[in-house]
Amino acid sequence: MKKLLFVFGTRPEAIKMAPLIHACATRKDLFDVKVCLTGQHREMLQQVMAFFEIEADYNIDLMRPNQTLYDITANALKGIEGVLNETQPDLVLVQGDTTTAFAGALSAFYKRVKVAHIEAGLRSHNKYAPYPEEANRKMAAVLTDLHFAPTPAAAENLLNEGIKENVFVTGNTVIDALLWGVKKVRDDKKYAESFGYLDVEKKIILVTGHRRENFGQPFENICNALAELSDKYPAVQIVYPVHLNPNVQEVVNRKLSGRENIFLVAPLEYPNLIWLMDKCYFVITDSGGIQEEAPSLGKPVLVMREVTERMEGVEAGTAMLVGTDTDKIITEATRLLEDEIAYRQMSQAVNPYGTGNTAQEIVSLLSKHV
């Protein structure tokens, strides 16, 4: 029996790890599964843990007010070191591009423990966009032994960097999590009741925005676009769960508060977010995972970034890069609201990120390579 240690610390990591943790835990003949949280996020992380019924064996709890990337990295390294000393795993599994993922891979490397990287190979080819995620995932890749790439393009990125062994195309576990989650919330009345201020018979635009590289003038531009769309389409409802970061809060509240058809709400728990994603007409976002999730529900995505590491969606037609240019955002949102043919082309495009069987595929690979 092989000892597996899952290391993660943010809500997106927890969402994408959840299906794989459950899939591995059911194979008690193969794996002894332990879960280590770094606590890079806290409240938002616990919500997902509860929803997917995951319990942590270790919690480093490194979240502190006003902490820097230096703090997160150093404290995660030291905390994970202690967990590795106690568990002596055969394999450490990290996910994605967070500072936790990089610190987990580096900690395992220092102990000469093998590393598996879930969602390996994503690249924007600009180390400052997204920041610090692009650097995190590239550094983690150098330390990784088993690379589970979500798409052929992601695998090709690794090959181009000289990583030629143990690269596997598996799809993305986020689709497993989404389909599992939507099945749980779609017909649950409590979620509809929590959005009682919305008329689900009318068009809803879901907005998420929080990227560091968009702080400042880019967020001003984004909010200007949303304000103009609000004026132009009073019957369209815009729901924006506003990130707690003051750099986001200040601009969004100053620019968008008080508008009847814009709903600025607190960050949503994962089940509420996917319920809303299921009901919305399309999504405007600078987030990563939503670019993969929304198309599985037939929702077009306008991506408020200049570059994305998820070009597969853009190439497949499920997503479109609009950057943070006010006019571009307005133009493409208008097109989706008014042009039914253009909307159908995006909403019916095939999602390139998988069909929901990624966790089982990875379990099969782990059974052969750990």
Per annotation, catalytic residue among 156, 220, 228, 243 = 243
Per-residue pLDDT tens for 277-297?
A: 999 999 999 988 899 999 999
H-helix or E-strand spanning residue 210: none
CA distance 3 to 92: 9
CA distance 21 to 311: 27
Q: Are strands 301-303 and 31-37 parallel, antiparallel or unpaired?
A: unpaired
Per annotation, catalytic residue among 119, 134, 286, 292 = 119
Per annotation, catalytic residue among 11, 210, 305, 310 = 210
Distances (CA, A) of 68 to 62, 73, 77, 163, 290: 11, 9, 14, 31, 26
Task: List, in order, residues 6 or more apart from 156 with CB less than 8 Å away.
Answer: 121
Q: Are strands 91-95 and 2-8 parallel, antiparallel or unpaired?
A: parallel
CA distance 74 to 245: 22
φ, ψ dihedrals at 167, nearest 5°: -105, 120
Per annotation, catalytic residue among 32, 57, 156, 212 = 212
Which residues on adjacent β-strands are paired with residue 241? 265
The interaxial angle of helices 326-338 and 217-232, nearest 10 deg, is 30
CA distance 79 to 77: 6
Give the per-residue pLDDT at 349.
93
pTM higher than 0.75, yes or no?
Answer: yes
Based on the residue annotation, tell me whether 213 is a catalytic residue of this protein: no
Evaluate whether 243 touches 249 at the Cβ level (below 8 Å): yes
The owner of tokens 């929901």 is 356
Q: Are strands 58-59 and 146-149 parallel, antiparallel or unpaired?
A: unpaired
Based on the residue annotation, tell me whether 42 is a catalytic residue of this protein: no
CA distance 180 to 54: 14
Based on the residue annotation, tell me whether 210 is a catalytic residue of this protein: yes
Provide the percentage of residues in the chain whose pLDDT is more than 70: 100
Based on the residue annotation, tell me whether 156 is a catalytic residue of this protein: no
End-to-end CA distance of the chain: 10
CA distance 334 to 311: 23
Q: What's the token pair of residue 222?
A: 């984004």
Ranges of residues in the chain whose predicted pLDDT is under 70: none
Q: Which domains does the chain have, with CATH numbers?
A: 2-172+355-369 (3.40.50.2000), 188-347 (3.40.50.2000)
Per annotation, catalytic residue among 13, 97, 278, 332 = 97
Based on the residue annotation, tell me whether 243 is a catalytic residue of this protein: yes
Per annotation, catalytic residue among 11, 22, 41, 133 = 133
Dihedral Cα 168, 170, 171, 175, nearest 10 deg: -140
Q: How many CA atoms lie within 13 A of 208 on its CB side?
A: 19
